């Protein structure tokens, strides 16, 4: 039986390699056409200091969006962005939980370096966020944030001159109220910030949408069937409509032809993969594979990058686009070299190893787990004496759904990936980045509790400390609006 399984797997591998070779040839030709007919690096450099917009659509798995092959058409606006920009086909987040993942995205540090892994962790004053670095480079920095884990009391506002956390507001278009502010409010506040920007400086604008996380959409977008899958696809279509309205606002303000837009997500979403539903249960591919699309402000042939990249690469890319200095201690790397022809090599030559970590059991069925992917293989280790199995190994070239654990059949790959992970998780956390024991604002805690994240109410002492934080950051500047 074992000999048959291995033989079948080898045949499948050969078929997969043949298919991959054809796909690679087509992709490489497309990339060569794009870079030869339009020298992207020089055109980006000619922009000087462009306006930068970072959009995070919470809980968005890429394969259910149009640029990644989903039909029916869930995301026509995002497809238009991809048609004049770059799609990174294999981007990975650093956790399947927002706080840890976004700490990595903002600081370009791995989870075991920044240490922001628990519900009451936050970013300390010693953390250096991409917003701070862009502000030092002369950018006006603004944000519309809607995820409770990124409330200003957790320190994620650092570097932003305006960090707006909207109230939910009227939701007449939605069949039921959302827990977090909905897409209309994000677009409304984004338009206000765009119109009221400091015109003497380039703009860095960060927007965070929570509608896909809540599977929420107005009735007119519910055209993808019933049940959780239909609701999730409807939410993608609804947020895509909001993306179109953001683009229109940038155009009305006369900024669009000088603005680079990056769309990303903090984590994916499982629909039965590895026996899980949702996210924050493990750090296998369904929960950490994310979309990453860059829209250029000029017409360009579309580029698709097959090499594996990471969310920690987003901050260095933003700094490179801004022409800003890059601190040497960032653990991510700019994505721009991949646009300059690196993708002409096979993806394995340019794949970037990616680590992910889930150190908090937010749900009863969650696994405390760490994983590493080298682009071809994924290795994961479960923590705890009762964790079974203790180790997982998947050959993603043959088994992209990660259904067959090869930990006992592929010892060489297991040793190599195990050593990669061990070297990462044994590093000493960096001093001054993590703030422990952060107070959770009572109103935010109530909403987190409604999602099952916080089983117990905060103590009165914590509530008092949280109110002090909000008083230090008045509405309309940092905090609620």
406-452 pLDDT, tens per residue? 999 999 999 999 999 999 988 889 999 999 999 888 888 888 888 77
Question: What integer pLDDT is reported at residue 29 of this predicted model?
Answer: 34
For the entire predicted model, the pTM comes to: 0.87
Question: What integer pLDDT is reported at residue 457 of this predicted model?
Answer: 53
Q: What confidence tier does 171 reach under pLDDT thresholds 50, 70, 90? A: low
Question: What integer pLDDT is reported at residue 249 of this predicted model?
Answer: 98
Q: What is the mean pLDDT of residues 387-398?
A: 91
* CA-only gyration radius of the chain, Å: 22
More confident residue, 219 or 22: 219
DSSP bridge partners of 54: 206, 262
* pLDDT tens string 399-412: 999 999 999 999 99
Question: What integer pLDDT is reported at residue 351 of this predicted model?
Answer: 93
Who contacts 8 (Cβ-Cβ below 8 Å, separation ≥6)? none
Q: What confidence tier does 346 reach under pLDDT thresholds 50, 70, 90? A: low
Question: Which residue carries 């959770």 as its tokens?
Answer: 440
Q: What would the two tokens of residue 102 be? A: 């976004």
Question: How many whole angstroms separate alpha carbon 423 and alpha carbon 431?
Answer: 19
* Long-range contacts at 251-258 (CB < 8 A, ≥ 24 apart): 253/194, 253/195, 253/197, 255/51, 255/194, 255/203, 256/297, 257/297, 257/298, 258/47, 258/50, 258/51, 258/297
Percentage of residues in the chain with pLDDT exceeding 70?
A: 83
* pLDDT tens string 366-392: 999 999 999 999 999 998 656 778 999
Q: What confidence tier does 11 reach under pLDDT thresholds 50, 70, 90? A: very low
Q: What is the mean pLDDT of residues 472-480?
A: 43
Question: What integer pLDDT is reported at residue 71 of this predicted model?
Answer: 77
State the CATH architecture for 353-425.
2-Layer Sandwich (3.30)
Q: What is the mean pLDDT of residues 307-326?
A: 97
Q: What confidence tier does 34 reach under pLDDT thresholds 50, 70, 90? A: very low
Q: What is the mean pLDDT of residues 302-313?
A: 96
Highest mean pLDDT of the ranges 172-181, 196-205, 433-442, 455-464 = 196-205
More confident residue, 457 or 339: 339
* pLDDT tens string 260-279: 999 999 999 999 888 888 89
Q: Is the pLDDT of residue 19 over 80?
A: no
Angle, alpha carbons 271-359-419 (nearest 5°): 95
Q: What is the CATH number of domain 18-111+123-350?
A: 3.40.720.10
Question: How many whole angstroms separate alpha carbon 245 and alpha carbon 53?
Answer: 14
Helix (H, G, I), strand (E, B) or coil at 129: coil
Question: What integer pLDDT is reported at residue 385 of this predicted model?
Answer: 56
- What φ, ψ does residue 62 adopt, rounded to 5°? -70, -35
Contact 379, 392 (CB under 8 A): yes
For 5, 311, 436, the CA distances from 57, given in Å and listed in that order, are 40, 13, 27
Beta-strand relationship, 122-123 and 434-435: antiparallel
Helix (H, G, I), strand (E, B) or coil at 88: strand
For 3, 264, 391, the CA distances from 290, given in Å and listed in that order, are 36, 7, 23
Per-residue b/e over 373-406, b at no fewer than 16 CB within 10 Å?
Answer: bbbbbbbbbbeeeeeeeebbbbbbbbbeebeeeb
Question: What integer pLDDT is reported at residue 440 of this predicted model?
Answer: 86
Kindly list the domain boundaries of the chain, sorted by start residue.
18-111+123-350, 353-425, 434-480
For 322, 375, 376, the CA distances from 16, given in Å and listed in that order, are 40, 15, 12
Question: What integer pLDDT is reported at residue 275 of this predicted model?
Answer: 83
Q: Do the first three CATH levels of 18-111+123-350 and 353-425 match, i.e. the same topology?
A: no
* pLDDT tens string 210-258: 999 999 999 999 999 989 999 999 999 999 999 999 999 999 999 999 9
Contact 120, 438 (CB under 8 A): yes
pLDDT, the chain, mean: 86
Q: How many residues does the chain have?
A: 481
For 406, 438, 444, the CA distances from 399, given in Å and listed in that order, are 10, 41, 40
Question: What integer pLDDT is reported at residue 4 of this predicted model?
Answer: 35
* pLDDT tens string 94-149: 999 999 999 999 999 999 999 999 999 999 999 999 999 999 999 999 999 999 99
């Amino acid at each position: 039986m074992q000999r048959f399984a291995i033989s079948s797997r080898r045949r499948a591998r050969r078929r997969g390699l043949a298919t991959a070779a054809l796909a690679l040839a087509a992709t490489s030709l497309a990339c060569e056409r794009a870079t030869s007919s339009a020298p992207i690096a020089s055109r980006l450099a000619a922009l000087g200091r462009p306006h930068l917009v970072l959009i995070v659509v919470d809980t968005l798995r890429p394969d259910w969006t149009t640029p990644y092959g989903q039909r029916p058409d869930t995301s026509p606006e995002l497809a238009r962005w991809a048609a004049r920009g770059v799609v990174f086909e294999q981007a990975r987040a650093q956790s399947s939980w927002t706080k840890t993942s976004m700490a990595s995205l903002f600081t370009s540090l791995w989870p075991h370096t920044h240490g922001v892994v628990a519900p009451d962790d936050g970013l300390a004053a010693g953390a250096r966020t991409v917003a701070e670095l862009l502000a030092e480079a002369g950018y006006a920095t603004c944000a519309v944030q809607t995820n409770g884990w990124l409330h200003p009391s957790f320190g994620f506002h650092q570097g932003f001159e305006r960090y707006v956390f909207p109230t939910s507001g009227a939701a007449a278009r939605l069949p039921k109220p959302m827990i977090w502010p909905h897409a209309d409010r994000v677009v409304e506040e984004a338009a206000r910030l765009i119109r009221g920007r400091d015109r003497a400086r380039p703009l860095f604008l960060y927007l965070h949408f929570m509608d896909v996380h809540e599977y929420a959409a107005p009735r007119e977008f519910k055209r993808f069937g019933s049940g959780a899958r239909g609701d999730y696809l409807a939410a993608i279509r609804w947020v895509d409509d909001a993306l179109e309205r953001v683009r229109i606002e940038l155009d009305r303000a006369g900024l669009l032809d000088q603005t680079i837009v990056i769309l990303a997500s903090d984590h994916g979403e499982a629909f039965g993969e590895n026996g899980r539903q949702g996210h924050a249960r493990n750090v296998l591919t369904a929960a950490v594979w994310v979309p990453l699309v860059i829209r250029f402000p000029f017409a360009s042939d579309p580029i698709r990058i097959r090499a594996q990249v990471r969310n920690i690469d987003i901050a260095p890319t933003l700094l490179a686009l801004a022409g800003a200095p890059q601190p040497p201690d960032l653990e991510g790397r700019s994505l721009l070299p991949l646009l300059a022809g690196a993708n002409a090599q096979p993806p394995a030559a340019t794949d970037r190893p990616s680590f992910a970590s889930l150190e908090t059991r937010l749900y009863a069925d969650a696994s405390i787990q760490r994983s590493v992917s080298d682009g071809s293989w994924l290795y994961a280790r479960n923590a705890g004496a009762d964790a079974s199995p203790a180790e997982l190994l998947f050959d993603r070239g043959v088994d992209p759904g990660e259904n067959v654990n090869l930990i006992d059949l592929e010892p060489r790959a297991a040793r190599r990936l195990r050593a990669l992970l061990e070297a990462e998780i044994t590093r000493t956390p960096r001093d001054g980045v993590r703030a422990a024991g952060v107070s959770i604002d009572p109103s935010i805690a109530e909403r987190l509790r409604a999602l099952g994240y916080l089983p117990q109410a905060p103590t009165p002492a914590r509530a008092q400390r949280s109110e002090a934080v909000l008083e230090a950051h008045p509405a309309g500047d940092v905090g609620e609006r």
